[in-house]
Amino acid sequence: MSKFRTLGLLLTTTLAVAACSQKAPDQAAPAAAPAAAPAAATPAAPAASLPRQKAPDGTAVTFVGIKDGDTVASPVKIGFAVTGAKIAPAGTTDAGTGHFHLLIDTDLPPQDGPLPANDHVKHYGKGQTEDTVTLTPGTHTLQIELADGLHVPFDPPVVSDKITVTVK
């Protein structure tokens, strides 16, 4: 591996772990676009591809305390649950461990490198299993993705069903 590629990979991993090591304050997600054209994040391409861990058999992630079609007030309390894997802080590379990422008003980001950290992809790198998220009034989509200690999605991806909520 070239010296520049190694440095780029190290920098990307360090920034991703640093982003998940702090609980970001609630951020208002942009209002969702009309149902025919949902807003989508445009994440930056990863600096380098990292190997993806095989998803532990039977692993699934789900929402707790919120479901598809709910009408809610902002801020919204959202819980996350997992079966078939263990939750561990970012940086933990033990097999069968990972942490949550909440996707807001976006499709799945590229799966060949660390997940981006932006207004559409919130990281829970301390192993958090819930959050209170500020969302603007209107319709929003939410989805959970479990990723390994380096923020790289499992293979195959471990994602919840995408749910739609309306914020009054």
Q: What is the pLDDT of residues 9-43, one digit of tens each?
A: 444 444 444 444 444 433 344 443 333 333 444 34
Q: What is the pTM of this model?
A: 0.74
- Tell me, yes or no, whether 44 lies in a domain: no
Nearest by Cα to 108 from 118, 119, 121: 121
Residue 109 in this model has a pLDDT that exceeds 90: yes
Q: Residue 70 falls within a domain, yes or no?
A: yes
In a domain, 45, yes or no: no
HSE-up of residue 137 (Cα within 13 Å, Cβ side): 1
Residue 110 falls inside a structural domain: yes
Q: What is the mean pLDDT of the segment spanning 120-148?
A: 98
* Better-scored residue on pLDDT, 85 or 35: 85
Average pLDDT over residues 76-95: 97
**Of 4 and 121, more confident:** 121
Mean per-residue pLDDT, 34-60: 63
Q: What is the pLDDT of residue 12?
A: 45
Where in the sequence is the domain holding 114, given as residue range(s)? 3-24+53-167
Residue 136, domain member (yes or no): yes
Percentage of the chain modeled with pLDDT above 70: 71
Q: What are the C-alpha distances in Å from 66 to residues 11, 75, 83, 99?
A: 36, 13, 18, 19
97 falls within a domain: yes
Residue 46 domain-assigned (yes or no): no
Confidence category of residue 72, pLDDT binned at 50, 70, 90: very high
Flag whether 29 is in a domain.
Answer: no
CATH of the domain at 160: 2.60.40.10
8 pLDDT higher than 70: no
How far is residue 119's CA from residue 109's CA, in Å, rounded to a whole number? 13
∠97-100-102 over CA atoms, to 5°?
160
Number of domains within the chain: 1
Residue scoring higher pLDDT (35 or 166)? 166
